[in-house]
Amino acid sequence: MIVAPVSLALSGCGWFGNDERAALELAWLNRDVEIRQVIEQIRTQGLEAVASSAHAGSVAACVADRLDKDPLGKLATVEGALAESVPVNELLADLESLLSQELNFESASSLLQKGADIAAYAKVLIEEQGIAGASKSLAAMSTQAESYAQQDLGGHFQTLIEGCKTRTN
């Protein structure tokens, strides 16, 4: 019940279009058509669908498998995530803070000031898991992501995905 109003509140202000970050991501994706197609497919069909339908040994199977096994993999479905410059630990802390708040007009106003980035990632987690599930996922992400907590999210995803390119060529 809360997911729809939260999603509407988060998307209603035209937040989710960080053009600069999306352009950087697209430039990176355009370097490899196959990886770009896999990411587009994951974003339209879902990570689980691509992981289950990709042919073993393919770039699609590798990318989907790596994102599925990665504690932050669900966040890759947000446009611009592959060029996100926010450190993982900072992003997770902001998401945890956001999800621990009771959503009302005052907290929604505070959320607007935080910006589109946090809202986009929160929206993905809330839509997939609800608020309680998203909070649990964030706690698990924080624990599992300690080894690369200082790395930026986009760099983490790019390193993860580029390994599929070099492995399959």
Q: Per residue in 16-41, pLDDT tens?
A: 446 788 899 999 999 999 999 999 99
pLDDT classification of 90: cutoffs 50, 70, 90: confident
Average pLDDT for residues 73-99, to the nearest whole number? 87
Average pLDDT for residues 111-120, to the nearest whole number? 62
Give, in degrees to the nearest 5, the angle at Cα 136 between 109 and 130. 60
Residue 107, pLDDT score: 57
Domain ranges of the chain: 3-8+17-168
The CB-side HSE value for 135 (13 A sphere, CA atoms) comes to: 8
Q: Count each helix (H run) and each strand (E run) in the chain, helices first.
A: 9, 0
Residue 112, pLDDT score: 53
**Mean pLDDT score across all residues of the chain:** 79
CA 98 to chain centre: 16
> The whole model's pTM is what?
0.74
Structure tokens at 59: 């770039």
Q: Which of 82, 88, 86 is nearest to 23 (CA)?
A: 82
